[in-house]
Structure 1
């Protein structure tokens, strides 16, 4: 990335998005964490993420890896207008003064060579330590560092990625049918994963390993992504938080002004929101 690229980002942030920002009252949080957006894939719920970004705001926002799916884009380019709208909103947020920290994951690992640098108002870091309003220190990282399959058997990770692509294609078909019947979004992959014993065991073990590593570093907790499973629980005296994803579950982790943490399930928020009043659009 060059200075010219930074100028391009600034120009892009000043351009007009395909879908203008909605003028609505935004819920303000102290901090927001999102990860595993996988822009560049058909499974990305970009429309829901755009809706999320139009309805919330924060002092600090962490992008905890796999925001862009470089693995998939190398195989086949896919980038609809809604994906541009997500990037535009993130850059505009940084331009308005939100402190933005991007921690690249394994799918957007190409950005790891720029860790330590700031581009377009977004700081790129390998990991970070966040201090909550109530004084707790949380290690923030993507989490693939603790995935034995990703680290030791990269070829197997890519095979799994292909299988996951097929599952997400089925997920899109299921939800297209549900929309036609007036039913809310439902994640087929999340449902399947919760019922496969080996997947449940892997997730539990991953959470334990990440919490143990965070404890060894002397922090009070850890925030990660990677496994597409939103969770918040205490493990061995360490607070474990996973912000989930925007492919299967459309979730984010937020910190309230008093330091209280919460997982937002945005599909549920949309399903319960009264949309009877028309929304004005930004000029």
Structure 2
């Protein structure tokens, strides 16, 4: 269930997972991610792929100050003791050449293992390696990405109008995706494949990104979690001190703000946290 945290408070979680930020694109809601990072601390922070969108940056350069601020904020968290693990996805696959190295206190890994507070072993990966289109028809993935970018541009204009009319944020792109039968079937298949992979490898659950659909569910006794995205749902996965997981949709905690508005960049940094250890899978 979504968390009831209030943005006026600094909340501390045992772990936070964010993915599919797509820094370097106009669709990235870096301002809201920065706001989220300012209000939420954790012992572990997992960046579960597609943090930077290399596909779009190769086409044209787009990099606002807020995108740089997000990177700096994550680096600051790492310096202050948060254990940050970065698992590159397909859009930032160039970073995979640095797997097993650490930069600026950030561990870059192909995948990782996280133990919840109650002892359950979670496999952490982006998930693109289980997407047949990415693996066997990458040209189709590039085509789909271009179409998706166009829909996100429509979504931005659509929500600008809604904001002017005093209406809350609503994701046109996510609505269309979940209304297309083939897309729904793909999501279901993806979730089942990831759960089966975790089961095959002896894990109690799996946390991934890639499909931009935040979710927590039980699939045949395997805990499946998806951290969502920061272009449509503005969502993250969080672990509470007792090991329970929640999906947190940040737009629900921004009363009076539009997802098109800017967040001030001079907010004070939250207090530092002690360093912790994490176990990364090979």
Q: Which residue of 1 aligns with 2:268?
A: 282
| Corresponding position of 2:230 | 246
| Distance in 1 (alpha carbons) for counterparts of 2:267 and 2:61 | 30
Match of 1:106, SS?
A: coil
**Partner residue of 1:61 out of 17, 21, 45:** 45
Q: Report the equivalent of 2:118.
A: 134
5+ long unaligned stretches in structure 1: 1-22
Determine which of 84, 91, 113 is the counterpart of 2:97. 113
Structure 1 partner of 2:197: 213
Q: Name the structure 2 match of 1:11.
A: none
Report the CA distance between 1:24 and its aligned residue.
Answer: 6.0
SS at match of 2:255: helix
Partner of 1:179: 163
Alignment match, 1:233:
217
1:126-172 deviation per Cα after TM superposition (whole angstroms, max 9, x unaligned): 00010000000000000001000000000000000000011000000
Query: Greater RCO between the two (CA within 8 Å, min separation 6)?
Result: 2
Structure 2 gap ranges (5+): 1-6, 258-263, 270-282
Residue-by-residue CA offset, 1:184-240 (whole Å, 9 max, x unaligned): 221111111111111100000000001001100000000000000011111121110
**Counterpart selection for 1:162 from 129, 139, 146:** 146
- Distance in 1 between the 2:38 and 2:208 partners? 23
CA-CA distance at 1:183 after TM superposition: 2.2
- Cα distance in 1 for partners of 2:81, 2:91 equals 27
CA offset digits 1:96-118 (Å, max 9, x no partner): 10000000000000000100000
Of residues 197, 200, 203, the one that matches 2:187 is 203
- 8 A contact 1:24–1:279 mirrored in 2: no
Q: Separation in 1 of the partners of 2:229 and 2:187?
A: 14
**Following the alignment from structure 1 to structure 2, what is the Cα–Cα distance between the partners of residues 271 and 39?**
25
Q: CA deviation at 1:91?
A: 0.6
Structure with a larger share of its residues in helix: 1
**Superposed CA RMSD:** 1.8
Q: How many residues align?
A: 257
The answer to whether the 8 A contact 1:32-1:62 is kept is yes
Tell me whether 190-199 or 106-115 shows the greater mean CA deviation. Answer: 190-199
Q: Distance in 1 between matches of 2:39 and 2:183?
A: 33
Q: Does 1:32 align with 2:16?
A: yes
TM normalised by structure 2 equals 0.88
